[in-house]
Structure 1
Amino acid sequence: MLSARSRRLSRPLAAAAALVVVVSGCSVGSIGGDSNNSGGSAGTTEISFLYQNDAATQARGKALIEGFEKENPNIKITSETQPGGVDGDNLTKTKLSTGEMSDVFLYNPGSLFQALNPDTNLQPVTDEAWVKDMSPEMKAVVSTDKGTYGAPIGTTSSGGVLYNRKVYEDLGLKVPTSWAEFRANNEKIKTAGKVTPIFQSYSSQFTWTAQLFVLGDFANVAAQDPSFAENYTAGKAKYVDQPALQGFINQQQAHDDGFYNKDYASATFEAAMKAVADGTAAHYPMLTGALSTIVQNSPDEINDVGFFALPAQDAADTRATIWLPNALYIPKTTEGAKLDAAKKFLAWVNSPAGCKVQNDTGAAAGPYAISTCTLPTDVPQAVKDLDVYLKDGKSGPALEFISPIKGPNLSQITVEVGSGIKTAQQGAASYDADVKKQAQQLGLPGW
């Protein structure tokens, strides 16, 4: 059976039909600031905001800064960027440990957040007015027993397959519900010869994209073994065994079948999103949160892209795996007037004005995780496709939201499996070893 925490997360996600438009809640109250000079001109407080360097995140970050500064002329925010994936994780941990972290930074919730040692390294925001407006699921993944540390940014999303609807129409394909059907579709696409069946993007800055075959399969794993997350956290369930092994097998099989683009080793995330949008690729395993890149770069093609869950071996087990949004955090080194300004920025991002900027600069990828933000009425087709899984109760949370363990080297391992360097079994064994190190660092029993 699911643990109590698993049930708390699963119920609202599975019943998310009503969440496609989140009911607006109370407005965010203002937070008092200090106009003392903190590195800027007299009467101005200067803070820095760190976020990932992909084009869509940069566009949203700059727009949020512009909107906030317009309403708060006594606060100036400097943009700073860094890569995502393992490189970004390592940079984040290094900056926190050396006291060089930006005043506000964007990072993951859940297990990766826990690995930052938040009680030591982050400023709590437990008493801020907007915290009460967060969904219980979101609050759980940015909090410890000692307090809340993160403010949501963006919408929830799902890990599965983005696909080009025109390619499917042209070739007479149906959305697959089992892995055999998905494989058959890819064979037909490969035989037709004009379109890449599955795009992969293993460029050094985007190795994180290789993880979707494994991470996006987790709701299928949980459908087959509802106790997996609990046993995994206790050191009893492993990726080297079924059903968790299947994600690695699927990735290896797709490589061995010759379904990937020839330049997968050097291709970028942006190239992948362009390919699935313009129909030069049929499929891209990815989070629906990536739709914002299509909105930024190929807006006329946003509704040519649909979504389906990564198919399980048995169609009865196919589920959409749900991710909660990233969050904004404040490091412990941000103090005084800078801390007041940083808290004010977090509140503004989740105010109606900040939510409007988020809607205007990105694509809704699922429901928001805070009631102060509402989705626009014209969501992309892929989000409508995701909503079907939510309405039907065919969804479940990603493992990183119901277990504190996520090995830091999964992206590198899945690149190796997806490139034919390691077999699925070897990759899973490597990840189990990676996970063991992290569990021991966290001091979890059973490891």
Structure 2
Amino acid sequence: MTFTPKRRWPAIAGSVTAAALVLTGCSAGGSGNSDGKTITWLVDNTENTITYAEKLAEDFHAANPDITVEIETRPQGGDGDNIVKTRLATGDMADVFSYNTGSLFQQINPEQNLIPLTGEPFMDNVSESFTPVVTAGDNAYGVPVGTGSAGAVLYNKKVYEELGLSVPKTWDEFMENSRKIKESGTAAIIQSYQTTWTSQLFVLGDFANVAAANPTFAEDYTANKVKYATDPAAVKGFEHLEEAYKAGLFNDDFASTTYPQALERLANGEGAQYPILSFALPELKVSYPDQLNDIGLFPLPGDDPAKNPLTVWLPGGVYLPKSTENVEEAKKFLAFIASSEGCESQTEAVGANGPYLVEGCDLPDDVPTAVKDMLPYFEDETRNSPALEFLSPVKGPALEQITVEVGSGIRSAKDGAALYDADVTKQAKQLNLPGWN
């Protein structure tokens, strides 16, 4: 199955913060390379990422015996953002590093810190749907790693079948399903606030519904013409989070549950539904292969069952900092990542959780059930919207803390949305966006 993107999505921006960190390193493709060069690759520390990174490094080394790739890791979320920003600022970045596309990419000052890739032959393999989200000024700076994904609800199909439930197409249907699941003694909606970034999906994953209700929202938001707290469609993500909390639909220990624990509960049917990014699927495959096809996917429901669109995320990027002393070797590695061989390495390592945005990369027929649920939304552009961070440079850094508060009953949905608007205003002013100063 080949995915051909139909839409050219514009470039955007996002935010980062600062901290000190311990990095772990491991060599892939050999224990050393006394006769050649060793390059380093900084990636996040999720099991899925490390697994495909090591496989890419191993296969690249097999094809290029004179180059060894050593993997370094960093945390996810805000701490990881801090590491990337700090290491770029101090000239201590790895030879190659993986990081967000879109809004967060813009905030690492790519024109100052990164080596442009425009004109490199391997960029011809990169989908034109991806290039804008790694572009600053006149140049593109990254290649995609991983696949397209979605902000959606992963659900345990066995629990649904046992309770006779159907996939919901509206928020009211989702709440009704959730109440029935709770009555059965199973956690209806898994939340994992110990891993704070996971708290954002009720808001971020709802954006396709916002765009369906207001097609110009992203443009108006960037121009400071609409706000989360006052737009009736945009505020619903916060309201839904508050409503689900007040209805007691979360796992009892949502405040202390981690992302890996949430995946375990979903796989084992101890929790029925988990609003999360679908990049969780390869991690489920690695940790719970026997339960992988028990997991399905549906969009976060809105009000209109006739639309019910999916919010989609573009893959992360791999970049070259200007501080690298191994430019040619690093470019060779990026060329491998942005090739059909690179896609095959990733699929072999962790499977595919969506479409690749590299030309010539096919998906196997035996993709997980949740991927099959997702692909129709990718293939029909009227049934999806990119997440807001791929359409606007405006994204505040404090959303994950705010959504934890709203989802814990500490702050109301209205106050949370207003606080996020204030957070966004600071970020937009730092970016010197028109209409914000």
Query: Same-fold call, TM > 0.5?
Result: yes
Q: Higher mean Cα deviation, 169-178 or 346-355?
A: 346-355
Deviation for aligned residue 1:350? 2.1
1:188 corresponds to 2:180: yes
1:150-161 matches, cutoff 5 A: 150-161=142-153
Residue matched to 1:57:
49
Partners in 1 of 2:39 and 2:8 — Cα distance?
37
Which amino acid counterpart does residue 364 of structure 1 have in structure 2?
A: A
Q: Is the 8 A contact 1:46 1:78 kept in 2?
A: yes
Q: Could you tell me how far 1:146 is from its partner in structure 2?
A: 2.4
Q: How far apart are residue 327 of structure 1 and its match?
A: 0.9
The match for 1:216 among 171, 192, 205 is 205
Query: Does the 8 Å CA contact 1:86/1:411 hold for their aligned counterparts?
Result: no
Of the candidates 239, 257, 276, which is equivalent to residue 249 of structure 1? 239
Shift of 1:433: 1.2
Tell me how far 1:186 sits from its aligned partner. 0.4
Alpha-carbon shift at residue 281 of structure 1 (Å): 0.8
2:280 to 290, 302, 327: 290
* Matching residue of 2:115: 123
Tell me which moved more, 135-144 or 387-396.
387-396
Aligned 1:14-53 pairs, distance under 5 A: 42-53=34-45
Residue 233 (1) aligns with residue 225 (2): no
| Structure 1 Cα separation of the partners of residues 9 and 74 of structure 2 | 31
What letter corresponds to residue 359 of structure 1 in structure 2?
A: T
How much has 1:166 moved relative to structure 2? 0.4
Using the alignment, how far apart are the partners of 1:413 and 1:386 within structure 2? Answer: 28
Match of 2:27 in 1: none
How far does residue 230 in structure 1 lie from its aligned partner after superposition? 0.3
Name 1:132's counterpart in structure 2. Answer: 124
Q: Is the 8 A contact 1:85 1:411 kept in 2?
A: no
Q: 1:363 to 1:42 in 2, by over 3 A?
A: closer
1:279 aligns with 2:269: yes
Deviates more, 1:432-441 or 1:389-398: 389-398
Aligned counterpart, 1:331: 321
Q: What SS class does the counterpart of residue 227 from structure 2 fall into? A: coil
Q: Distance in 1 between matches of 2:379 and 2:142?
A: 28
- The CA deviation at 1:400 is 0.8
8 Å CA contact retained: 2:210, 2:234: yes
CA-CA distance at 1:42 after TM superposition: 5.0
User: Residue 342 of structure 2 corresponds to which residue in structure 1?
Assistant: 354
The answer to whether the 8 A contact 1:157-1:324 is kept is yes
Map 1:293-372 to 2 at 5 A. 293-335=283-325, 338-372=326-360
Cα distance in 1, alignment partners of residues 350 and 342 from structure 2:
12
* Alpha-carbon distance in structure 2 between the residues aligned to 1:76 and 1:70: 9
Secondary structure class of the residue paired with 1:367: coil
Aligned residues of 2:111 and 2:137 also touching (Cα < 8 A): no
5+ residue gaps, structure 2, are 1-5, 11-31
Runs of 4+ that moved beyond 6 A: none
Say if 1:224 and 1:317, in contact at 8 Å, map to a contact too: no
2:33 and 2:315 map into 1 onto residues whose CA distance is 35
Aligned equivalent of 2:133: 141
Q: Matches of 2:408 and 2:214 in 1, distance apart?
A: 29
Shift of residue 41, structure 1, vs aligned partner: 5.9
Offset, 1:134: 1.6
2:29 match: none
Letter in 2 for 1:306: G
Please state how far the C-alpha of 1:127 moved relative to its aligned partner.
1.9
State how far apart, in whole Å, the 2-side matches of 1:344 and 1:433 are. 43
CA distance in 1, matches of 2:364, 2:72: 29
User: What is the CA-CA distance between 1:340 and the residue it aligns to?
Assistant: 1.0
Structure 1 CA distance for aligned equivalents of residues 285 and 64 of structure 2:
28
Matched, 1:438 2:427: yes
1:22 aligns with none
Measured after TM superposition, the shift of residue 140 of structure 1 is 0.6
| Contact 1:158/1:365 (8 A) holds in 2 | no
Distance 1:256 1:68 in 2: 51
Shift of 1:315: 2.1
Match of 1:108 in 2: 100
Letter in 1 for 2:344: K
Within 1, Cα distance between the matches of 2:351 and 2:402?
30
The aligned residue for residue 377 of structure 1 is 365
> Which of the numbers 59, 66, 69 marks the counterpart of 1:67?
59
**1:168-223 per-position Cα deviation (integer Å, ceiling 9, x unaligned):** 00000000000000000000011111x110111111xx211111111100010000
Kindly indicate whether the alpha-carbon contact (under 8 Å) linking 1:219 and 1:321 is maintained by their aligned counterparts in 2.
yes
**CA offset at residue 351 of structure 1?**
2.1
Distance 1:380 1:252, change over 3 A: same
User: Does the CA contact (< 8 Å) of 2:131 and 2:140 recur in 1?
Assistant: yes
Deviations, residues 242-300 of structure 1 (Å, cap 9, x unaligned): 21110011111111111111221121111111211221110000112210011110111
TM-score of the pair, normalised by structure 1: 0.88
Residue 189 (structure 2) aligns with: 198
Which residue identity is paired with 2:314? L
- Equivalence for 2:28: none
Residue identity (%): 51
Q: TM-score, normalised by structure 2?
A: 0.90
TM-superposed CA distance for 1:66, in Å, is: 1.4
Equivalent of 1:82, from 74, 82, 105? 74
Q: Distance in 2 between matches of 1:343 and 1:390?
A: 30
Q: Distance in 2 between matches of 1:45 and 1:85?
A: 31
- 1:145 is displaced (CA, Å) by 2.2
Residues of 2 paired with 1:75 and 1:165: CA distance?
45
| Structure 2 CA distance for aligned equivalents of residues 282 and 388 of structure 1 | 23
CA contact (8 A) 1:49 1:105 kept: yes
Assess if the C-alpha contact under 8 Å between 2:228 and 2:418 holds in 1: yes
User: Does the 8 A contact of 1:228 with 1:237 survive in 2?
Assistant: yes
In structure 1, distance between residues paired with 2:263 and 2:324: 36
Cα separation, 2, equivalents of 1:128 and 1:301: 42
Describe the shift of the 1:318–1:7 C-alpha distance in structure 2 as closer, same or farther (beyond 3 A).
same
Residue 418 of structure 1, aligned match among 394, 407, 410: 407
Q: For structure 1, list consecutive stretches of 5 or more residues without a partner in the other structure.
A: 1-5, 11-39
1:8 deviates by 3.8
1:389 offset after TM fit, Å?
A: 2.8
Answer whether contact 2:42 2:71 (CA < 8 A) is retained. yes
| Paired amino acid for 2:319 | Y
The structure that is helix-richer by fraction is 1
Shift of 1:373: 2.0
